[in-house]
Amino acid sequence: DVSKTLESQVSLIEIPSPQDSLSAVALKPLVFRLVDQLLNELNANKNTTQTKSLNQVDQLFFLDADMRVNTPINALLDKVGEWDPRCSVYLPRERWYTKSDWNTGTMLLDRKYSRPMLEAWRESLEENHDLILHQNTYSKDQWAFMHISTRFRICPLPEGAVSFVADFFTHYIWGERRSTFTHWTSAKQASGHEFKHTQKENQGLRAS
């Protein structure tokens, strides 16, 4: 029974309901905290099989909820190879028509090397909560990420890691299953976004 097999391999982490849309996406930088929370709960329940497995998690893939896994990830991980200690995170490059350089819907993270970046991202979201929440010109978590990303080295995931359904060529020509992951995301049109201007002008955080 496939469902029973999957159920035995999946651990769910219960969290309080987010107070707003920003609080929901702000869970991204907390991914290792949530894993540690689960580990503590399993330790308390003496669940030695799952605890042993979680103790060995040094790296993990974070996927947005609107992601589909098309193929086993072994080949992709082989392309990445051994983690480069200079990298804070491995991300797919954004599409040419967006205002950011990287897409955080798919993240390969390392327990040690990603922590400083994740902590800076968390602080950016918390310190600018009201500002970010009330601006609608860019994805809220992405807005905060791009303001801290220049302080860290972002390494690209290999070509073919992610396809975006919003792209014309992916949807109508190449197909949505040509990559390891498919991101069922809405299009991010460049018009109306002033995000990169705020970054280049180095005028601090502001919503346009």
Per-residue model confidence as pLDDT tens digits over 148-169: 999 999 999 998 788 776 665 5
In the prediction, which pLDDT does 1 show? 45
What does the mean pLDDT of the chain come to?
75
This prediction's pTM:
0.75
Closest by CA position to 107, among listed 143, 67, 72, 144: 67
CA distance 96 to 83: 27
Residue with more model confidence, 100 or 166: 100
In the prediction, which pLDDT does 189 show? 44
| Share above pLDDT 70 across residues of the chain, in percent, rounded to a whole number | 66
For residue 74, pLDDT beyond 80: yes
CA distance 29 to 145: 10
Tokens representing 106 are 């798919």
User: Tokens 């992610």 — which residue?
Assistant: 162
Q: Degrees (nearest 5) of the Cα angle 72, 119, 114?
A: 35
In the prediction, which pLDDT does 81 show? 94
pLDDT band for position 123 (50/70/90)? very high
For residue 108, pLDDT beyond 90: yes
